[in-house]
Copies of this chain bind each other. A is one copy, B any other.
Amino acid sequence: MRSPQGFHNGESPSPHNRIPTPHFHNTVTLRKLKRFNSLILVFRVTAFTFSLASSVFMVTNSRGSGSPHWFDYDAFRFVFAANAIVALYSLFEMGVSVWEISTGSTLFPEILQVWFDFGHDQVFAYLLLSADSAGTAFAKTLRGTPTCTDSNSFCVQSDISVALGFAGFLFIGLSSLLSGFRVVCFIINGSRFHL
């Protein structure tokens, strides 16, 4: 595999042109690239919104001292933790994306950035799916118990939180596809640019 550190920040995306030219990309290429980065940003924002909403729904799921509290259940703690981690990560990645769109360069060195994005997307997608599956199984079990018959709103709010978590998983999964595509582009071209 070629050592790609030399081709950084769009200076020389093609192996056929080895002399660094700061304005190598023409307008059409740059527009397409901006569209690709904007799509990643949209997925990041959506993943952030859903996982933040999920964790907020879970953390506010308590009805005073006499009724059940989300913190008493392991599975719900797992749902909250996973969604909070993904929300924080998505917020960071939103910043990275905005930085890349506005300056045209990556925050970290390019090789680090593409692998960082892809690796974290994959791991956090697995984490979120695991937490939400555990949450679903537990919420389903709670349904038949006095916890839900006495305090139905507690169970409904848990269900909503888990469902929002699954939506967050969908969008971090989509982000993972795009960042995987960027890794492949990087391996092929020695640059994250796909064109």
Residues of B with C-beta under 8 A to A184? 184, 187
- In the assembled complex, the CB of A47 is this many whole angstroms from the nearest CB of chain B, namely 16
- Is A136 in contact with chain B by the CB < 8 A criterion? yes
Describe A's contact surface by its main secondary structure. helix
A178 to B121, CA, bound (A): 18
Which chain B residues border A141 with CB–CB below 8 Å?
A: 75, 137-138, 141
A59 at the interface (CB under 8 A from B): no
Residues of B within 8 A of A187 (CB): 184, 188
Q: Which of A108-134 contact B (CB under 8 A)?
A: 126, 129-131, 133-134
A13 close to chain B: CB less than 8 A: no
Instruction: Give the residues in chain B near A134, CB-CB below 8 Å.
Output: 133-134, 136-137
- Chain A residues 26 to 76 lying within 8 A of chain B, measured CB to CB, are 74-75
Alpha-carbon distance between A135 and B138 when the two chains are bound, in angstroms: 9
With both chains docked as a complex, state the minimum distance between the C-beta of A6 and any C-beta of chain B, in angstroms.
Answer: 19
Q: Does A18 contact B (CB under 8 A)?
A: no
Whether A137 lies near B75 (C-beta < 8 A) is yes
With a cutoff of 8 Å between Cβ atoms, the chain B residues found around residue A129 in the complex are 126, 129-130, 133
Please give, as numbers and ranges, the residues of chain B lying within 8 Å of A136 by CB-CB distance.
Answer: 134
Contacts of A131 in B (CB 8 A): 133
Chain B residues with CB below 8 A from A75, complex form: 137, 140-141
Residues of A near any B CB (own CB < 8 A): 74-75, 126, 129-131, 133-138, 140-141, 184, 187-188
Can you report 10 residue pairs joining A to B where beta carbons are below 8 Å apart? A74-B140, A75-B140, A126-B129, A130-B130, A131-B133, A134-B134, A138-B141, A141-B141, A184-B184, A187-B188
